[in-house]
Amino acid sequence: MNEQTQPQRKPVILSGMQPTSVLMLGNMIGALRNWVYLQENYECFFCVVDMHAITVRQVPAELRKRTLDVAATYLAAGVDPNVSTVFVQSHVPEHAELAWVLNCYTGFGEAGRMTQFKDKSEQHSDNITVGLFTYPVLMAADILLYQADLVPVGEDQKQHLELTRDLANRFNHLYSPTFTVPEPYIPQSGGRIMSLQEPTKKMSKSDSNQNSTIFLTDTDDVIRNKVKRAVTDSGTDIRYDSENRPGVSNLIEMYSIVTGTSVADVEKQFEGKGYGDFKAAVGDAVADYIRPVRTRFDEIRADVPTLTKILKEGAEKAQHTARRTVRKVYKKVGFWQPEDK
């Protein structure tokens, strides 16, 4: 084929979410909404990262259920399985294979510097596993297997992306170009949605206080109530200042994103109004934003045969690409293959 007839390779995206709970507003705003709009111009792989989930203890039946919940949420948010490859991480064993190799190229101190490991080992101090420690290496394997150019994530994943880039560069320099060095794609606004109850902490799907987090399965009334009860700061006006007034600033950011209004326009719109009026408007706007996702989720989640078919086909497609990378890597590190003789 000459250059003119060769089809242009679309740049590749990989991203994933842990099925530790149903997804929440931070996952949607920080990552999932970007997946949906990027999928037209990229070749996308979106996985449900169940292998990451077991780095902290899970109830097996719950994990199975959440895996399907998360896959259904991807589709409900607008990920199109005819355009993007949607699959479950543990269905493609190459993730574990590459993770092992990369573990052998990661410094102990390097892994120890990961802030998410430090945070999570504090949260789970009774059960700090080696898996939790090497979690970012598995994440690097997820990304590098597909030769991803871009990784759309929230801000909390930035450090893991830097490690991924370091590992890719290290391997490429030690041997020869093997991995694409990926770039993170973190939204300027909404990369870090904060907890409604403790606005200096990020909103998390595994927060023990349910009122801190707006789940994508919450009903309109539950959403409105959670927003109404959100902790705000002393002061009365609706003004963005994330440093000194994290509570109201978080609500302003959420409102700005879900309504597509700039922060300056939100401030103008609510000039002279109090927290009560503002919270009611935020509650309504977030409920409007989540409602269509929840409705589609209920439909998609009810049709398990279709969901199963999508995930099976997705895993086959993903494995095709993943296998190619593992084969290349095995050769470079010196694993003997029968065809070597």
φ and ψ at 277, to 5 degrees?
-60, -45
Q: Is 205 a catalytic residue?
A: yes
Measure the CA–CA gap between 185 and 158, rounded to whole angstroms.
Answer: 9
Report the candidate in 34, 19, 161, 138 with the shortest Cα–Cα distance to residue 88: 19
Question: Cβ closer to ligand TYM: 223 or 309?
Answer: 223
What's the DSSP call for residue 183? E
Tokens 């039946």 sit on residue: 61
Considering beta carbons, is residue 94 or 142 the nearer one to ligand TYM? 142
For residues 132 and 120, is the Cβ–Cβ distance under 8 A? Answer: yes
Tracing tokens 């700090």 back to the chain, one arrives at 128
Nearest approach, Cβ of 124 to ligand TYM (angstroms)? 14
Contact 154, 31 (CB under 8 A): yes
Least Å from the CB of residue 69 to ligand TYM: 13
Least Cβ distance, residue 334 to ligand TYM (angstroms): 27
The answer to whether 92 and 322 have CB atoms below 8 angstroms apart is yes
Residues near ligand TYM, by CB under 6 A: 14-18, 26-27, 29-31, 49, 52, 139, 142-143, 151, 153-154, 156-157, 191-193, 202-203
Burial of 65 (0-12, 13-18, 19+ CB in 10 A): middle
The number of residues in the chain equals: 341
Catalytic choice (10, 65, 118, 205): 205
- Closer CB to ligand TYM, 112 or 274, in the complex: 112
Active site residue 202: yes
Give the residue with the Cβ less far from ligand TYM, 155 or 267: 155
Is residue 95 within 8 A of residue 144, CB to CB? The reply is no
* Min CB(148)–ligand TYM separation in Å: 8
Point out which residues pair with 184 in neighbouring strands: 151
Residue 313 CB, shortest distance to ligand TYM, in Å, is: 21
Rounded CA separation 226/55 (Å): 30
Q: Shortest distance, CB of residue 67 to ligand TYM, whole angstroms?
A: 12
The yes-or-no answer on residue 201 being catalytic is no
Q: 202, 226, 268, 273: which is the annotated catalytic residue? A: 202
Catalytic residue, candidates 65, 118, 120, 309: 120
Which residue of this chain has its Cβ atom nearest to ligand TYM in the complex?
Answer: 30
User: H or E segment at 192?
Assistant: none
Question: 101 or 237, CB closer to ligand TYM?
Answer: 101
Least distance in Å: CB of 31 to ligand TYM? 4
Rounded CA separation 279/272 (Å): 14
Choice between 156 and 237, CB closer to ligand TYM: 156
Phi/psi of residue 14, nearest 5 degrees:
-130, 140
Contact status, residue 114 vs residue 50, Cβ threshold 8 Å:
no
For ligand TYM, the closer of residues 139 and 287 by Cβ is 139
Q: Are 30 and 190 in contact (CB under 8 A)?
A: yes
Per the CB < 8 A criterion, the answer to whether 334 and 174 are in contact is no
Residues recognised as catalytic:
120, 202, 205
